[in-house]
Structure 1
Amino acid sequence: MSANPTSPFERALATSDREFRELADFAPVMIWRAGTDMLCDWFNKPWLDYTGRRLDEEVGSGWADGVHPEDLPGCLATYTGAFDAREPFAMEYRLRRRDGEYCWLMDHGAPFYRDGHFMGYWGSCVDVTAHRMAQRSQRVLINELNHRVKNTLAVVQAMAIQSFRDERPVATSLALFESRLRALAGAHDLLVARAWEDVALRGVVEATVAPHDPDGTRVTFDGPPLMLQSEVAVSVAMALHELLTNAIKYGALSVPAGRVAMAWSYVADRHALRLEWQESGGPAVAPPATRGFGTRFIERVLAPQAGGVAKVTFAPGGVHCVFEADARRSPCENPLPHARHSAG
């Protein structure tokens, strides 16, 4: 019987090793191996494809050339510490991709043994850049939501305190509070429809005025196309609601001949909206003995929340208000101003 240069066991080992490498090259993760000297002696094809480097460039300590300089000290400390203790490890670091961009990897390593003898480490890596970006976006979203909820609660608190004053009947106070809550809800509905993105000032004005002037004959507005951030839009809508409510009860809109004209402009050097409200044709106006909630709400709460200032004046010919807030020019709308004129 002729001697076989390799035994069946050796051939099985060789076959197993070859099939493992083939399997590892088709794995959806990046795999590496290190010997007892801590030096890496093998990387699978996904690793080499990811880094765009050859195997001979990565073995030994060559792989460390691709680690971000800021992450390398911590990466090596984790690696050598686990290696010395013969313990598994998990760490995240940035590795240079073949296109030159640094991306975040999650690297898991664990010691392996043969016949009870320590032989080195096996490790696997996955790109977690998208996951980290999603986590960061989630944190930003939560912080933004928390900020908006606090601001909204502050507005509701201010409305409640001023609506339920001791000298006012409960039924009247409740009606006022519900009206203001509906206005706040309407402003939020507009923002939800826009996924809380910037909204057009004209859309805010139209949506706020419509319930108070359904025929579109008594309130006019005119101005260039401007965009408002979500919180600014809520403040503008609430301010207009207060002015409209006062005009309907006591001002120009309380009589058939009364009119309201709104005009806005863009103050470029301050990146701000300047909106003017002017009533006319209504009952004679006399300055109130004390400034009511609506006026204080506009001047002290809504305008500061919008990053601006406001001033309500009770002129004899009609209530006048100037409201300034943060704004930007619209990149999409027609740059020519479009006015809504009354029919009268």
Structure 2
Amino acid sequence: MSEYATSPFQRAIATSDREFRELADFAPVMIWRSGVDKLCDWFNKPWLDYTGRTMEEEVGNGWAECVHPEDMEACLAVYTGAFDAREPFSMEYRLRRRDGEYCWMLDNGSPFYRDGHFAGYWGSCVDVTAHRDAQRAQRILINELNHRVKNTLAVVQAIAIQSFRGERPVEQSLGLFESRLRALAGAHDLLVSRAWEEVALRGIIEATVAPHDPDGTRVRMDGPALMLRPEPAVSVAMALHELLTNAIKYGALSVPGGTVALHWGYVPERHTVRLEWQEAGGPAVEQPVQRGFGTRFIERVLATQAGGSAEVTFAPEGVHCVFEAEARTGSTLAWRKAGVTGPPDRFADA
């Protein structure tokens, strides 16, 4: 009786060449073989070790029991189609590992011949799960980077348009533009240090306030430990920069005795932080004739990006602003690890 008339398991036993077995069993890939009947009749040791099954369980169509149900139809279609055409094939499918987890396999098969006659297929498999995960992570990273770059460019565009509009001298407009870009860059630096993950609200506030109040005596801060996503974090930093710049030029921080009270709290029903800015001890505030860039930047652009709302009030006793943005509560340990101590004009400057 010829080899091809026996059962798959009998053929598996007949594959007994010592040197071949040693070579195949020490190969860094999983190897299989099928006969002219499309049934697999041999698997090397790495395959059996990977699936945790015996040769008896794998031969014939037994190996298919470990293929993910969602991949079975496509897997068999590629295999039988190539087999009937006597062509090589390459495909990916999920195979159940001995611990029960399905992992992605790259399976390459090619027909082989003996004495000029078709004798079946040899194939090899390698686990490409890590490679697929890395590719997926790279795609996510590229998409996220593209999203962030577009958002950043939108903010920069808004800053440029508003900084250079009006009749002010070019030097003054350039100074405003550079100041706002530095504030934006500072917020991004803090996010980069946190790998663009959530950052502590207190860290954002301290990093933004520090250049304007190096002694820490003019701006009084108080609030719970809260965490912000990257977009709201940038928005909060830019809004505070506008408030600080206005206060230094025209408000409470423009005179020795002026102060700013900066308080925030968590609003659980909306999952937001409510941040309140109140100036005191500065020059009398007059209602501006028109809403300047700073006000529009806070109330419209930044508030929209932060997923919240903002309102600036020009009260006679001092500028008052309430800003709300998406946030979540965080443990004391979390914000201490994320927090940073130390290192974006007048609202009607348009």
| TM-score (normalizing by structure 1) | 0.91
Give, as a single letter, the amino acid of the residue that structure 1 aligns with 2:144.
E
Tell me the alpha carbon deviations over residues 41-63 of structure 1, each in whole angstroms, 9 at most, x when there is no partner.
00011111111111011101111
Give the 5 Å matches for 1:16-165: 17-165=17-165
Tell me the alpha carbon deviations over residues 223-275 of structure 1, each in whole angstroms, 9 at most, x when there is no partner.
00111111211111111000000111111111111111100001111111110
For residue 178 of structure 1, what is the aligned residue in structure 2? 178
Residues 137 and 335 of structure 1: is their aligned pair in 2 closer, same or farther, counting only changes over 3 Å? closer
SS, match of residue 46 in structure 2:
helix
CA distance in 2, matches of 1:138, 1:288: 49
Tell me the alpha carbon deviations over residues 54-87 of structure 1, each in whole angstroms, 9 at most, x when there is no partner.
1011101111111111100000000000001111
CA distance in 2, matches of 1:16, 1:33: 14
SS, match of residue 41 in structure 1:
strand
For residue 248 of structure 2, what is the aligned residue in structure 1? 248
Asked if the contact 1:224–1:335 (Cα under 8 Å) also holds between the matched residues in 2, the reply is no
Give, as a single letter, the amino acid of the residue that structure 2 aligns with 1:41.
D
**2:203 maps to 1:203:** yes
For residue 265 of structure 1, what is the aligned residue in structure 2? 265
CA distance in 1, matches of 2:271, 2:137: 27
For residue 215 of structure 1, what is the aligned residue in structure 2? 215
Give, as a single letter, the amino acid of the residue that structure 2 aligns with 1:282.
G
CA distance in 2, matches of 1:169, 1:100: 70
For residue 10 of structure 1, what is the aligned residue in structure 2? none
CA shift, 1:115, in A, is 2.0
CA distance in 1, matches of 2:335, 2:159: 37
Residues 15 and 117 of structure 1: is their aligned pair in 2 closer, same or farther, counting only changes over 3 Å? closer
CA distance in 2, matches of 1:335, 1:232: 16
Which is further off, 191-200 or 139-148?
191-200
Residues 332 and 30 of structure 1: is their aligned pair in 2 closer, same or farther, counting only changes over 3 Å? farther
Percent identity between the aligned chains?
A: 80
CA distance in 1, matches of 2:142, 2:273: 29
SS, match of residue 212 in structure 2:
coil
SS, match of residue 82 in structure 1:
helix
Asked if the contact 2:32–2:40 (Cα under 8 Å) also holds between the matched residues in 1, the reply is yes
For residue 7 of structure 1, what is the aligned residue in structure 2? none
CA distance in 1, matches of 2:294, 2:166: 17
CA shift, 1:331, in A, is 2.8
Tell me the alpha carbon deviations over residues 187-246 of structure 1, each in whole angstroms, 9 at most, x when there is no partner.
111111112121111111111001001111111110001111112111111110000001
CA shift, 1:17, in A, is 2.5
Give, as a single letter, the amino acid of the residue that structure 2 aligns with 1:145.
L
CA distance in 1, matches of 2:173, 2:335: 43
CA distance in 1, matches of 2:228, 2:334: 16
For residue 5 of structure 1, what is the aligned residue in structure 2? none
Which 5+ residue runs of structure 1 have no aligned equivalent? 1-13
For residue 225 of structure 2, what is the aligned residue in structure 1? 225
Which 5+ residue runs of structure 2 have no aligned equivalent? 1-13, 342-350
Asked if the contact 2:109–2:122 (Cα under 8 Å) also holds between the matched residues in 1, the reply is yes
Give, as a single letter, the amino acid of the residue that structure 2 aligns with 1:206.
E
Tell me the alpha carbon deviations over residues 267-289 of structure 1, each in whole angstroms, 9 at most, x when there is no partner.
11111111000001111111111
Asked if the contact 1:225–1:333 (Cα under 8 Å) also holds between the matched residues in 2, the reply is no
Which is further off, 294-303 or 191-200?
191-200
Give the 5 Å matches for 1:185-334: 185-333=185-333
Q: Which has the higher contact order (CA 8 A, sep 6+)?
A: 2
Tell me the alpha carbon deviations over residues 294-316 of structure 1, each in whole angstroms, 9 at most, x when there is no partner.
00001111111111111111111
CA shift, 1:166, in A, is 3.1
Give, as a single letter, the amino acid of the residue that structure 1 aligns with 2:128.
V
Asked if the contact 1:95–1:105 (Cα under 8 Å) also holds between the matched residues in 2, the reply is yes
- C-alpha RMSD of the superposition: 1.8
CA distance in 2, matches of 1:99, 1:177: 59
CA distance in 1, matches of 2:153, 2:115: 67
CA distance in 2, matches of 1:62, 1:314: 78
